[in-house]
Amino acid sequence: MKQIILIRHANVDSDNSQKIDSSRLKIWVESYDTAKIVADSLPTQETINIANNADVLLTSRLKRAIDSAKVLGVNIDERNALFNEALIPEVNIPILKLKPKHWLVILRLMLFLGLGKKDTSLKASKTQAKEAAHKLLEFTTEYDHVVLVGHGGMNWLIRKELMKEGWSLEPNASNKNWGMTVLTL
């Protein structure tokens, strides 16, 4: 039986306490993309075992995914931007101030409704996810257990693409930090 396991990265050490306007969100995201993971954000033993038993382990090119793979104690076989998190739409709403995580929820909803600019639209994210899923499928021609340490939104989109290709989703899929999604064929 072939498996593709999607693991979301560890918690990121990022300040989410201050309310900011939309113009500062891009700066916050850039900071989030380069932030360290939280030292005490540890995977379960099951996650460690799955990663260590992978035939091939992949990550995005973002720091939090790479650092999470290091916490798992595994060698990364490939870092690929196809697995980077889906981008969020850019907006300009200077009068509204929200915590960054609240902005992300609103903007992800906009993304999934297709309300972003061309490079951050749902169509672009779906195209990226489709290419990422095909990349994972290429690895399954040679390997039985493929593991990706990636990101919540992109992992969710990849999962949908793999299911269209006939892969079955095992119960208890999770997009939480250190959460796993197991797909089988």
143-169 pLDDT, tens digit per residue, is 999 999 999 989 999 999 999 999 999
Return the structure tokens found at 11.
Answer: 């918690």
Tell me how long the chain is.
185
Question: For the chain, percent helix, then strand, then coil, each to nearest 5?
Answer: 45, 15, 40
Q: Where are the domains of the chain?
A: 3-184
The answer, yes or no, to whether residue 94 has pLDDT greater than 90, is: no
Across the chain, how many H-helices and E-strands are there?
6, 8
Indicate if the pLDDT at residue 174 is higher than 80: yes
Q: Which residue's entry shows tokens 């104690």? A: 73
> What's the pLDDT tens digit per position in 50-93?
999 999 999 999 999 999 999 999 999 999 999 999 877 777 88
Cα 97 from Cα 114, distance rounded (Å):
23
What pLDDT sits at residue 118? Answer: 62
The CATH number assigned to the domain with range 3-184 reads 3.40.50.1240
- pLDDT at position 45 is 97
What would the two tokens of residue 111 be?
A: 């993304």
pLDDT of 116 above 80 = no
* Start-to-end Cα distance in the chain: 6
pLDDT score of 105 more than 70 = yes
What is the rounded average pLDDT for all residues in the chain? 92
Under 8 Å between Cβ of 37 and 11: yes
pTM of the prediction?
0.92
Instruction: Please give the pLDDT value at position 88.
Output: 79
Contacts of 87 (CB under 8 A, 6+ apart): 111, 116, 119, 120, 124, 125
pLDDT bin (cut points 50, 70, 90) of residue 114 is low
Q: Which two tokens stand for residue 63?
A: 């720091």
